[in-house]
Structure 1
């Protein structure tokens, strides 16, 4: 049995930071009444906090690009696309990473951070002492994997991200029930 190739991940660092900050606020929001044994407050705050935590995770942390020598897996909100390198014609960096196929239909990867250009904050630093930002750094890395991939005819698979969406549906139902019965 062949060894499984090492998988790499690209995820927006600013979105991940937003997720962790939001999660910390939610932990304090639920943890404070929990520590003080205010059970009615915990019961009132917990379902909406879980729903908000799920939304933060789904929209800020879950979108990512995973890749190895064989394929690239694009995880967007609610959808997962598994693309063999042999199907990718070109990779571009726009506001999001974009994979082009021979059919002409592009696939956008929402989880990749948009390129950063030098702005007001960057102008405060001495530009001579640092390398300029490379807006296409992910493109260069992924193009190397694409060019070194073995040819093949494996299909592109697209599927709904069922488990996270089902968890969200259950949390929405829990919040609706909580509102309806007025806990």
Structure 2
């Protein structure tokens, strides 16, 4: 499906968001129950709930893949990678959405490959429907298809030529995740030492 010029597409799996919400809810209930039972013991007994809740946010809620006209952006757990389209040499979806450049490959934590069971279920659902694609949803195959289409549109519009190595791929630390990890570490240390 063609995208409008200037549009930004964001991909993450719905299942990971559900996991994050469920884990956060269980952790919040556990933390509240700990506080209700003994408010002074919350620092000692509440830290596991904070660690697990923060981990669910960092691992399942926050990561995503963004495709725009300038670049593909992979927001992984600890690092964000920005790859200009002119650096992309190949796109892969075997184990996760993976973008190859002339130097290395970059995988997205947020968009795993489709499981064999899920692929079989979609094939059974679509059996008999000629031309049906098994890339529905936000799995690696669907994102790879969207990225390939985006690159082709940019190439057809004359915005992309041959891959260029003079434009850098930028990688940055995800400061919010690191800050939350530091706060959680302090809270955990306080809980263990008290």
Q: When the two structures are superposed, what TM-score results if normalisation uses the length of structure 1? A: 0.80
What's the counterpart of residue 82 of structure 1? Answer: 82
Tell me which residue corresponds to 1:140: 145
Residues 33 and 179 of structure 1: CA distance in aligned 2, closer, same or farther (over 3 Å): closer
How many residues get paired? 174
Show the 5 A alignment for 1:26-105.
26-34=27-35, 36=36, 38-103=38-103, 105=104
Q: 1:86 to 1:160 in 2, by over 3 A?
A: same
Deviation sequence 1:124-161 (CA, Å, 0-9, x none):
x7654775623722211111112233237532101121
- The answer to whether the aligner puts 1:164 opposite 2:177 as a matched pair is yes
Q: Gaps spanning 5+ residues in structure 1: where?
A: none
In structure 2, C-alpha distance between the alignment counterparts of 1:126 and 1:58, rounded to whole Å: 34
Shift of 1:8: 1.7
Kept after mapping to 2: 8 A contact 1:12/1:112: yes
Structure 2 unaligned blocks of 5 or more: 1-5
TM-score, normalisation: structure 2: 0.76
1:90/1:99 contact within 8 Å kept: yes
CA contact (8 A) 1:100 1:107 kept: yes
Matched, 1:19 2:20: yes
Residues 120 and 84 of structure 1, relative CA distance in 2, 3 Å threshold: closer
